[in-house]
Amino acid sequence: MDPPHITPGDAPAVPTSAIKHALLVGGDSGLLTFLSGVLKPPAWETHQVANNAEALAIAAKKQFDLIITDEKTAGYEDIELLRKIRSVRPHTRLIILTGEGAPEDVIASMREHAFSYFSNPISRDELAAMVQIAAEEPCWDDGIEVLSATPEWIRTLVRCDLKTADRLLQFLNEISELPSDERRDVARAFREMLLNAIEYGGCLDPTKYVEIDYVRARHVVTCRIADPGPGFNLNEIPHSAIANPPGDPIKHMEVREELGMRPGGFGILLAQQLVDELIYGESGNEVFLVKYLDPHKPTAA
């Protein structure tokens, strides 16, 4: 018998074959109500079970488009649930919520192809955005491949897709044990350069991948991003704000409009302000971001 689910009420009818199903693990009624505001009926039916054992039992009988774990369970318990579910439902998307995160568990969840990972305190806005990505993205299996990983050095391949970039950023945010200010700055700079690599180097081609190294040493964090494109010369990118002549800070916006490009072009300039060093390789398709850390600052909780 299927677990209880939210009924669509008086909403317009949706063909049964088109209805998607989400499974929430745990008894948090507030989270259930919250998810119903993101995965709206009647297009979605949200089911709920009490624990991981019940989730595994029902997932073996029924295909779910998305499973979200109980934040009261440990990360390693949810990773084990993911392993078991994927043995019978290989393409299941599972978002791990957990009370206490550990870098080793985050890395394990990436290796097991979790869709995302959140530890307390969990931002409902950020969780809602990730659930929306899970609900809307085409049925690709993953897009993030872990080549090698320790909590101090992670090397990955990331599909040239903007939503996959958001997923990687959430994983790395869970791993990076940095002071809050540095954590925010590194994340923003890394996001800008990663999106540049995906959009311009990879041309948003989902068959292409960006290679990333994230290294956390005692007093420094570095990110290396290498895209599959031909590269460029920093002095020859008139569509970027970094190339604007003195006294004309918006010249690149005219160039972008003439080329039919979206508004923007501030990524490199912004990243330079947020990290201590931004170093490009000779070909221009490889960049290092370097952020030095204050040894006297406490790391983020």
pLDDT in tens, 101-110: 789 999 999 9
The residues, any chain, with a CB within 8 Å of residue 204's CB and separated by 6 or more, are: 160, 161, 162, 198
pLDDT in tens, 8-64: 444 455 666 689 999 999 978 888 888 888 998 889 999 999 999 999 999 999 999
**Local confidence band at 82 (pLDDT 50, 70, 90 cut-offs):** very high
For 219, the domain range is: 143-301
- Give how far Cα 111 sits from Cα of 41, 66, 135, 148, 155, Å: 32, 18, 21, 10, 12
Q: What is the pTM assigned to this prediction?
A: 0.84
Is pLDDT above 80 for 144?
yes
Q: Are 201 and 229 in contact (CB under 8 A)?
A: yes
Task: Examine the domain organization and report whether 83 and 60 are in the same domain.
Answer: yes
Task: Examine the domain organization and report whether 45 and 99 are in the same domain.
Answer: yes
Number of independent structural domains in the chain:
2
Closest C-alpha among 117, 233, 215, 210 to residue 157 = 210
Q: What is the CATH number of the domain that holds 100?
A: 3.40.50.2300
pLDDT in tens, 134-143: 998 876 678 9
**For the ranges 9-13, 45-49, 281-285, 292-296, which has the lowest average pLDDT?**
9-13
Task: Give the residue with greater pLDDT, 36 vs 82.
Answer: 82
3-state secondary structure of 65: coil
220 forms beta bridges with: 292
Task: Examine the domain organization and report whether 198 and 272 are in the same domain.
Answer: yes
